[in-house]
Amino acid sequence: MAMVSRRKRRRYAAPIGGAFMLLALVGVVTVVIWAIGLTDRLLDNQGDKYRLEDIIRPVLMWDPPPFENPEDVSPNLMLHFSMWAALMDENANYTPNDYMEMTIPASDLDVAAHRLFGPGVTLQHTSFGDYEQSYYFDSVRRVYVVSATAQLFLYSPRVISIEREDDLYHVRVGYVPPEGFTADIRGARGEPQPEKYMVYVVRRVGDAFQITALRDDPTILAETYLTE
């Protein structure tokens, strides 16, 4: 009788053990799929950060004041943004002449402005710049003449976080100074840290991103208010 009972237990134990093994295998597969999905999301988010840095760069580098509508940005700053968005376009091919000057069509700036801020922006084409870098506008040929040798030391962006709200992205960005690598008192080198933070509100339009507003960082404002 005891032998029969043990045989029955073994007969039932086999499928039960198999069921547990199957559940364990399903669990492992589920965890692996979840981990892969999480990794994909993290990679996508990092890719979004790099892409948004490239989009924001020609605006951030000039450290503009906050605005709630791109149409409120000064015409001079808008020309700076659009010029450098055109120059930084990976598809651009502006070749310097013998005098190390490049000719940039005004229409390229119009396209760059619409790509940055949307079709509601209208540029007021004119010469602009300063003693470090000037942009001469030839109103007859409708082109800008730009020196190809100027060295500008401006901020570069570092995206800290992205918060999504429907088709809007609130992008917290650090302004990294142009000094390059830093060193402590022992001479240990490290990456430069942002000097300030701002929030860029960016709208997704199809596969493109357009800047709709620039705001002070609420985190910094709260900390300032608490310390006053």
| pLDDT tens figures, 42-82 | 334 677 889 999 999 999 999 999 999 999 999 999 999 99
Residue 1 has a pLDDT of 54
68, two tokens: 């709630």
Region 18-42: mean pLDDT is: 42
CB burial of residue 217 (10 Å; 0-12, 13-18, 19+):
middle
pLDDT over 80 at 138, yes or no: yes
Give the chain's mean pLDDT.
79
How do the domains of the chain map onto residue ranges? 1-63+154-228, 68-147
How far is the C-alpha of 43 from the C-alpha of 122, rounded, in Å? 36
Q: Could you report the per-residue pLDDT of 75-87, keeping only the tens digit for each?
A: 999 999 999 999 9
Q: Where does 1-63+154-228 sit in CATH, by number?
A: 3.10.450.630
| 111 or 2, which is more confident | 111
**Measured distance between the N- and C-terminal CA atoms of the chain, rounded to whole angstroms:** 86
Residue 148 has pLDDT above 90, yes or no: no
